[in-house]
Structure 1
Amino acid sequence: MTHDQIKSRVLNRRNVFIACFVLAIAGSFTPLAQGEIVLVPLASLLGGVYLSRRSRSQYITFVLWLFFLAPMLRRMIDAHLGGASASAIIASPILACMGATPYPKQLWGMLNFGRLKWMVLIVATYAYASFVGYMLHSPIALVQEAITWAGPLAFALYLFVQREHVAEMLETFRDQFMLGTLVMGLYGIYQYVFLAPWDATWMEQSTLSTIGTPEPFGVRVFSTMNAPQTFADFIVFGILFSTASTRRLRFFAIPVGLMALGLTNSRSAWIGGVVGMCFIIFFFPAKRRLQIMMALLGSVLLLAVLSQVPEVNEQLTRRLQSFTDLKTDSSVNARMLSQEHAITMFGDRAFGNGFGGSSDDTGSGPTFGVATIQGVYLADNGIEQFMLTFGWFGSVVFAIGLGGLVFTCLHAPSPQELTPVNAALLSLIVQMPTMGLFASTPAFLLWSSIMMGIAYKENVRSSGTTLKPVSLNDTQVQTI
């Protein structure tokens, strides 16, 4: 097959995916919306199974855009049907991740690698939580929650299986996050100024109390995703990945992303983004540092222009002032009460809650990561999240495994190509006390960044050379 034929084949697949996403969004306004509630998750699972075995870059692109767009599609269907009945669509990207679940033989082979020795502890705690969940909760609840924890990890392990092509995967992540940052950022700005009807309807029905008011200039921007915090972390990843790109698109993506990030009012994401950007500036060469500083300066000037809008100025000023007066902040006070409750629960449940014990406040169905355990919001604190799930002993084992993986990924020496990945990982780790990292969408970011770094280092170690240039021929997928 010639180079032009390969390129044409790849572009044709991308056009098919774009057409599918457009048709799904258009169908949400028609009588087909009811059928999409089942069709979209099923197509995501089958598409994940097929693409994970056929095309690395297309599979990664498919999964990323499902994460980017599935929540908005859910809101559109809910608005058309007149009720919150399309929550299963939120599971679509997780099901696509499950399509790459390694076979037992593959998993055993991966766990034999020295750099993945800590992963044995993670897998062991997941098995333990599944057993506890089986003993305490219903099978349906167990499966629903186990998928939200295991799906992102399955995708990350797929990245390790494909480690010989990690340069190609890094480029795919960088390009798709950069484009996604531009698209989601523009929609986020539109959402803040105009607020689409499906977004307003969802806000009115949502149990989230810190998402703002359902009116223009009153919303905490969540763009195409389902919460300001989640959107903010994806935008932070997109901005950090964009700094490593040489494409001109980055000069549009970074400023738009920063404006949208400011409108989320997500303080923890702001802190994580600053930590990640400082890491990049410190480790990048002098010439690239200057380019980044110029891009950031231009973005700051745009933010200054944006802040001339009275509503924006008031909102950002109030949020920035809260850093110096946390005692009177309602969000911080609510988190403190939740943590006191969590400590009491942890003391009473030595074996943990396992998978299947979390639920939403309404009891209306699967939560897919946005959940509580007896009033404790698991999305508010990653430490509480794994401690309440795994119990006393399981939490220690999980923490040791996580710490070992993060250290393996971050410890020197790390090549320059991994700098944005490590920066993105750090931006998440510093947010662990303020957001749940280990289920659903945040877990996808966490495990993918960890495994990308480990896959890169393992590939360099085994080959003894630096990475080869990216090839367009991604149709042959490696197995371990």
Structure 2
Amino acid sequence: MMTLALDGPRRASRQLHPALVPGLFFAFVLVLILLRLGRVVELAYPVGAVLVGLMCYRRNPAEYVSFMCWLYFLSPEVRRIADFFNGAYNPISPIQMAPVLVAILSGLTVLTHYRVVATKRAFPSLLIVLAMTYALVVGCIRNSVPSALFSFGYAIIPVFVGFHVLATWKHFPVYSRVLVSTFSWGMFVIGIYGVIQYVLMPPWDAMWMLKSGIGSVGEPLPFSFRVFSTLNSPGPLATVLMGGLLFMLAGRGKVVWVGAVSGLVVLLLTAVRSAWGGLIIGGIYALACIDARTRARVILAILIVSALSVPMFAVEEFAKPVLDRMESVTSIKDDRSFQIRMRFYESFLAVATSDIAGQGMGAVGIGTKLDSATSQLGKFGVFDSGLMEIPFVMGWPGTLLYLTGLLWMIGRAMKRGLAMKSNRLLAAAVGTAIALVSMLVFSNTLNAFDGILFQLGVTLPVIGHRYARMLAASGGATP
């Protein structure tokens, strides 16, 4: 078994706090918004984000990943506040492109570290890329080139981020420190704002609910909706909170405690049962994979966080929606959404598995809008099963390549994590990946930021183990 210190190189002490650069960037944007320069923000925000992203990318690979995470955390809220102060809702806001554009920068690592592509540690990623490329070709033929290219880019970005982390493995101590800090502060901000949103319903969030057509989450009134905090809807928020809470198992300090309590409360208020289950699955795995002494401390911390969350639910407005949702789990067979999902699986299973070639990229999701003259979602624009989406889009050849790469990544991450049982971050990372895979039953959790979380989960144990071996070889650690 290997142990590994997370202190990093001496020069790490001169590095900026992970929240400083994002904080300055968002503070500058907020000033522009308050000056009623909403239209300027729509253009300046994505351009500024890319420039700051490039600066972080050149300065330190871990700080770049941190800034990218912050953009995914906060960009939807920036968009809503900008629209509100601008006095008009923009259905196609360039602000939403900022996280994607910055994440695309990770593709530069493929060019600067091209030799890593041919190594064994990058082989699972290569299999996944080959599967996506096959689906891209099929999609260009069966759907349209724009929709296929859009869906391909949407799917491959997480793989680029994973490769970026894999290729910059020597920065593992900095990744450990920066990512734990990023998720700790991120959950602090998202959790606190989520509680404020639920109690007060800020006017910009109310305007978003009315104009965007997400009335299914409730009414734009205090205590009358499923919380979405700084993200676009309860679903993405719940996944971010689930992953963030698991990563915070490796954190310490007051920010971690406040972030964990508020994050747990808001996760329950999203009423997303798949994320609740994912948190339980990921947490059980993480606890099972750390040594007994560390496990006892983590369990104690979980109990304290749970106890601190209880007083919030003494208020009926907090308790009732959560208890109602929990009750639906105990009577799952009578639950309407469960019945709809079961009918979908029964009717679509044969369709998804009988098409040998697959429908290709652009057949499902947001990309179907590019096949419509009215920019409306296509027949499979909303697809409620990641398990069915993979064979439906990729066919048999692509599914074989994709699942081989996916299972390879998970198995390798579990093996590397078990070799370093005293490292809570690695156990939490693998737990996050396993949680996301378990949630494929409900949606595709391997694309967008969900996919980035998965790639971080399966890649951190690999680079951590490699870094530990390097230290052991140089006498810096004892295997």
* Kept after mapping to 2: 8 A contact 1:75/1:199: yes
Structure 2: which 5+ residue stretches go unaligned?
A: 1-8
TM-fit CA distance, 1:94: 2.0
Partner of 2:117: 111
Q: Does 1:410 align with 2:418?
A: no
Q: Which of 374, 377, 380 is 2:382 aligned to? A: 377
* Kept after mapping to 1: 8 A contact 2:357/2:394: yes
Partner of 2:37: 32
* Kept after mapping to 2: 8 A contact 1:48/1:100: no
Moved more, 174-183 or 405-414: 405-414
Q: Cα 1:272–1:449, aligned 2, differ >3 Å: closer, same or farther?
A: same
- TM-superposition CA deviations, 1:401-454 (whole Å, max 9, x none): 111111111126331321121122222122121121122121111112112222
Q: Does 1:61 align with 2:66?
A: yes
Partner of 1:183: 189
**Distance (whole Å) between structure 2 residues aligned to residue 107 and residue 361 of structure 1:** 30
- TM-superposition CA deviations, 1:157-182 (whole Å, max 9, x none): 11011101112102111111011111
**Distance (whole Å) between structure 2 residues aligned to residue 104 and residue 48 of structure 1:** 17
**Distance (whole Å) between structure 1 residues aligned to residue 109 and residue 251 of structure 2:** 34
Aligned partner letter, 2:43: V
Q: Cα 1:443–1:252, aligned 2, differ >3 Å: closer, same or farther?
A: same
Q: Cα 1:282–1:104, aligned 2, differ >3 Å: closer, same or farther?
A: closer
Q: Which of 94, 99, 124 is 1:93 aligned to? A: 99
Moved more, 316-325 or 20-29: 20-29
Q: Which of 392, 397, 416 is 1:393 aligned to? A: 397
TM-fit CA distance, 1:293: 2.9
Q: Does 1:299 align with 2:305?
A: yes
* Kept after mapping to 2: 8 A contact 1:276/1:424: yes
Q: Cα 1:375–1:55, aligned 2, differ >3 Å: closer, same or farther?
A: same
**Distance (whole Å) between structure 1 residues aligned to residue 56 and residue 361 of structure 2:** 29
* Kept after mapping to 1: 8 A contact 2:109/2:164: no
TM-fit CA distance, 1:137: 4.0
Aligned partner letter, 1:85: P
Please report the RMSD computed on the Cα atoms of aligned residues, expressed in angstroms. 3.1
Q: What is the TM-score with the length of structure 2 in the denominator?
A: 0.86
**Distance (whole Å) between structure 1 residues aligned to residue 408 and residue 473 of structure 2:** 25
**Distance (whole Å) between structure 1 residues aligned to residue 65 and residue 109 of structure 2:** 19
TM-fit CA distance, 1:185: 0.4
Q: What is the TM-score with the length of structure 1 in the denominator?
A: 0.86
- TM-superposition CA deviations, 1:208-246 (whole Å, max 9, x none): 464233221121111111121221222222222222223
Q: Cα 1:281–1:174, aligned 2, differ >3 Å: closer, same or farther?
A: same
**Distance (whole Å) between structure 1 residues aligned to residue 140 and residue 370 of structure 2:** 21
Aligned partner letter, 1:381: S
**Distance (whole Å) between structure 2 residues aligned to residue 294 and residue 270 of structure 1:** 20
**Distance (whole Å) between structure 2 residues aligned to residue 422 and residue 467 of structure 1:** 27
Q: Which has the higher helix share?
A: 2
**Distance (whole Å) between structure 2 residues aligned to residue 194 and residue 211 of structure 1:** 16
TM-fit CA distance, 1:266: 1.4
TM-fit CA distance, 1:294: 3.0
Aligned partner letter, 1:391: G
Structure 1: which 5+ residue stretches go unaligned?
A: 470-480
* Kept after mapping to 1: 8 A contact 2:429/2:456: no
**Distance (whole Å) between structure 2 residues aligned to residue 361 and residue 318 of structure 1:** 35
> What SS does the corresponding residue of 1:281 show, helix, strand or coil?
helix
Q: Cα 1:218–1:200, aligned 2, differ >3 Å: closer, same or farther?
A: same
**Distance (whole Å) between structure 1 residues aligned to residue 110 and residue 173 of structure 2:** 26
**Distance (whole Å) between structure 1 residues aligned to residue 340 and residue 367 of structure 2:** 16
Correspondences of 1:274-293 after superposition (within 5 Å): 274-293=280-299
Aligned partner letter, 2:16: V
Q: Cα 1:395–1:283, aligned 2, differ >3 Å: closer, same or farther?
A: closer
Partner of 2:5: none
Q: Which of 153, 168, 180 is 2:159 aligned to? A: 153
Runs of 4+ in 1 over 6 A off after TM superposition: 3-6, 466-469
**Distance (whole Å) between structure 1 residues aligned to residue 406 and residue 10 of structure 2:** 44
